[in-house]
Amino acid sequence: MSDLQYTYAVARIRSKELSLFSAATIEQLLARKTYENCLQFLQEKGWGDSDTPMDAEKILTREREKTWEDIRELVPDMSVFGILDYPNVFHNLKAAIKEVCTEGNTSNIFYKDTNPSAEEILEAVKSRDFGSLPEYMAGAAAEAFETLLHTRDGQLCDVIVDRAALDAIYQAGRAAKDEVIRHYAESAVAVADIKIAVRSQKTAKSLEFMKRALAPCDSLSVDALAHAALGGPEAIRDYLAGTDYAEGAEALAVSPSAFERWCDNRIIYTIRPQKYNSFSVGPIVAYALARENEIKTVRIILSGKLNGLSDDSIRERVREMYV
């Protein structure tokens, strides 16, 4: 599909962007005194449906469904959006492996609407038929399953699957024709690597562990990052200061929540130029990511209100908005 064939879809997305929450709207939500007031505000803004109960999770789930219903209506070839689905697909793989290995029943932790579906993944793991899974996850699925079965090391199983997810995102990004997807993949993998390095440093993980967990990408040297993580938080900040992720180093110095916030903001900065692109699938991908970011931010605010956090404390965690 040529770029011009997305003209109708992009024009509709432009109109839909009007209902995205701006920083001012987020401030209005923050200003609501109680959790219930916040839910009421969301309903006034049209979140959920008329029959959606006043329940945060149900409202947010419905909003996510609405986004993907819109995108499915606008884009006939959904393969472009596969890269956004990978985190959920690989989460389902982890859940399936753990369910089969522990013989438990954890059906409520699977993401719905993935490709392959949670049921297909679970069936493939149950029957040890890993070849029926997509190529990008088959190898990791077999390795993670055998590892958990023989070592009962859930963390190692997670590391194998998470690494496969990052590799799949990176490869999909490299193969993508659209610039926004290439940039998103690079940013997503690099930010995930930085998060892994920071957490590994805090939990004193070995160099081998980090090398197994870190996914190579163009904008970071995983070898240098892993060695920096061994040297402590300052070494990580020093290394990042010389890369495209220098602002991440500054956020790391402030607080863990400021760093988490920077990680998500980085993705928003990556997609922001799509606001001025009238053709190609880029603005539609950006809209999907912006909606995910918006829903995540609202979830953070609602959790903060529910747990009685101060407005300033919640504000520190609020992400940048796309519009």
What distance in Å separates the CA atoms of residue 296 and residue 175, rounded to the nearest whole number?
28
Site string for another protein, 63-92 (x = CB under 8 A): ------------------------------
Does 2 bind another protein (CB under 8 A)? Our answer is no
Expressed in angstroms, the distance from the first to the final Cα of the chain is 27
CB 59 within 8 A of CB 51: no
- Closer of 24 and 204 to another protein (Cβ): 24
- Closer of 3 and 250 to another protein (Cβ): 3
- Closer of 16 and 62 to another protein (Cβ): 16
Q: Using CB under 8 A, which of the segments 16-24, 49-57, 161-169, 185-193 binds another protein?
A: 16-24
Three-class secondary structure of residue 121 per DSSP: helix
Least distance in Å: CB of 81 to another protein?
19
Does 45 bind another protein (CB under 8 A)? Our answer is no
In the numeric block, the tokens 């590391």 are attached to 159
Least distance in Å: CB of 128 to another protein?
48
Least distance in Å: CB of 64 to another protein?
20
251-280: contacts with another protein (CB under 8 A): 278-279
Does 177 bind another protein (CB under 8 A)? Our answer is no
Q: Using CB under 8 A, which of the segments 15-23, 83-91, 138-146, 200-208 binds another protein?
A: 15-23
What distance in Å separates the CA atoms of residue 116 and residue 285, rounded to the nearest whole number?
20
The rounded Cα 31 to chain-centroid distance in angstroms is 27
What distance in Å separates the CA atoms of residue 256 and residue 317, rounded to the nearest whole number?
10
Site size for another protein, by CB under 8 A? 15
* Of residues 170, 147, 162, the one with CA closest to residue 219: 170
Three-class secondary structure of residue 259 per DSSP: helix
C-alpha pair distances (Å), 196 with each of 163, 210, 234, 238, 322: 10, 8, 15, 16, 26
Q: Using CB under 8 A, which of the segments 12-20, 180-188, 266-274, 308-316 binds another protein?
A: 12-20
Residues lying near another protein in the complex (CB under 8 A): 4, 7-18, 278-279
